[in-house]
Amino acid sequence: MIFLPLYLPLMLYALFLIVFSLFMAVNIYHISESASFTIPSFIMTSVIAFLTLTTLIITIVLLKDVNWTEMLPLIEFSSSNTFIQ
Amino acid sequence: MHLSSLIKQKPKELVHHVLRRHWITFLPRIGTFLILFSVPIILYLLFKSVTPGLLTGGFSYPTFVLFASSYYLSIYLFFFAEFITFYLDEWIITSDRIVDIEQLGLFSRSVSELDLYRIQDVTSDIDGVIPTFFNYGNVTIKTASTNAHIIFKNIHAPNKVRAALIQLAQDGRRRKNRSHQKNKNVLAESKNKVIEGTIE
């Protein structure tokens, strides 16, 4: 039987968030670098910021009861079958 | 950063137009974003009805939530990057020159300049039903050199911009001729002074 710590996907997610923040910073840097602080760019940046915050809040709310220290069996080998739990 | 520092504006140079693509050309990207946005919702409803137990497991539930969250954040990022590529393509027409700024991707940008007095030919074209209805199209600017030309892509009112460019190019040529004549006179004057000095 293979056990997988539940915090592993959480760590991968944290890594993804770091990359996401870097790319977002590059996007905002481009807006400032090209003198494009206009109403359309402000609206678009606000919409993206709002969607990002909403998604992060929903993620936190949905996962607040999860016990991340738990070790879960990923694949159970048996004589008859192999399954993902 | 201000526009004047972006183009390194000269003391007497005036910015006449700042042009960007017409907003309607961004609509297909918004459509793609909305389709991508609805995919996880459809998949969730599908899984819920076919295999209700799959998304409630101790491992599958948090993994699914984290995956869906990453997916949504990724599409926001790609959508924002698409907007940047779309919106940061701009053409600045000043009293002296045209500055063509093209955002080719998140890490690729090209800036080129063309002096107005060098313009030889300006063509505007509006092609298709939607461009005709919303009055947008391309303006192609050519110079005597075969490889130097700038295209304003999908800008609003291309015919108006073409007329304004022709006028500005004529003004530019007139100014150039005047300064050329002035330089010639100064040179002739100094030449005469040198000759007079040699005779004396």
Of B2, B61, B88, the CB nearest to A30: B88
Say if the Cβ atoms of B6 and A34 lie within 8 Å. Answer: yes
- B40: in domain: yes
- B91: in domain: no
Provide the mean pLDDT of chain B. 86
Order the strands of the B149-156 sheet from edge to edge: B119-125, B136-143, B149-156
Chain B hits for A17, CB-CB cut-off 8 Å, are 73
Q: What is the pLDDT of residue B179?
A: 77
Banded pLDDT at A85 (limits 50, 70, 90): very low
Are B155 and B138 a contacting pair, CB within 8 Å? Answer: yes
Half-sphere exposure of B130 (CA within 13 A, CB side): 7
Banded pLDDT at A12 (limits 50, 70, 90): very high
In whole angstroms, what is the distance from residue A42 CA to residue B52 CA? Answer: 42
SS3 string of B70-118? HHHHHHHHHHHHHHHHHHCCEEEEECCEEEEEEEEECCEEEEEEEEHHH
Q: What is the pLDDT of residue B199?
A: 61
Chain A hits for B70, CB-CB cut-off 8 Å, are 13, 16
Whether B109 has a pLDDT exceeding 70, the answer reads yes
Q: Which residues pair with A3 in a beta bridge?
A: A73
- B43: in domain: yes
Question: Would you kindly state where each structural domain of chain A is located, as residue ranges?
Answer: 2-84
- B58: in domain: yes
Whether A1 and chain B come into contact, CB under 8 Å, resolves to: no
Domains identified in chain B, total number: 1
- B81: in domain: yes
Q: What is the pLDDT of residue A54?
A: 96
- The minimum CA-CA distance between A79 and chain B, rounded to whole Å, is 23
Chain B hits for A40, CB-CB cut-off 8 Å, are 23, 87
Whether A84 has a pLDDT exceeding 60, the answer reads no
- B35: in domain: yes
Say if the Cβ atoms of B62 and A17 lie within 8 Å. Answer: no
Interface test mutation site (partner A, options B66, B103, B106, B107, max chain A beta carbons within 10 A): B66
Q: What is the pLDDT of residue A74?
A: 63
Banded pLDDT at B3 (limits 50, 70, 90): low
Lowest mean pLDDT among A69-78, B48-57, B82-91, B191-200: A69-78
In whole angstroms, what is the distance from residue B163 CA to residue B174 CA? Answer: 17
Banded pLDDT at B111 (limits 50, 70, 90): confident
Give the model confidence (pLDDT) of B134-146 as tens digits.
999 999 998 877 6
Are B34 and A31 a contacting pair, CB within 8 Å? Answer: no
Lowest mean pLDDT among A56-65, B108-117, B149-158: B108-117
- B50: in domain: yes
- B151: in domain: no
Structural domain containing residue B33: 25-86
